[in-house]
Structure 1
Amino acid sequence: MESRKIRIVDIAEELGVSTATVSNVIHGKTNKVSDETVKRVQQLLEKRQYIPSMAGILLAQNDSKIIGVVINDHK
């Protein structure tokens, strides 16, 4: 059986909450999230063994030092 990485969207869909809610719980921004929802999200994150991606962590910190460049070279 192939094991796939658990994503924030998977947690959100299973709990019936938004991806923003799950992300806020992960990053400790819980002032607008009920204590019950925080508890449910944290329990499911642990149960599903959610591991955040390094790219996601860097983007969330706004400190990735990554620059994107798009070049249109069409005639």
Structure 2
Amino acid sequence: MKKPLELIFWIALVAFLALGTLIVLGQLLGVVLLSPGVVEGAASALNWSAFSSATACALAAFALQYIPGTDEKGADQ
């Protein structure tokens, strides 16, 4: 059960970091172009996906805390 949750965690982490970067770069482009529509559009187009992947990452991290694994020395618990 731990491996699938770790996979979900890492995929969601990469996804929300990439989406957040795209939102910021899109907004930066809108500021440089002096286009408020681009600034607003970048956020509105990607917000739902970024928030959803961040939520999936947080839930996976929360669940991973309760799954027994290995201790700091590498021994199974």
Could you tell me the TM-score, scaled by structure 2's length?
Answer: 0.31
Higher normalized contact order (CA 8 Å, seq sep 6+, divided by chain length): 2
Determine which structure has more spread, i.e. the larger CA radius of gyration: 2
Bigger proportion of residues as helix? 2
Could you tell me the TM-score, scaled by structure 1's length?
Answer: 0.32
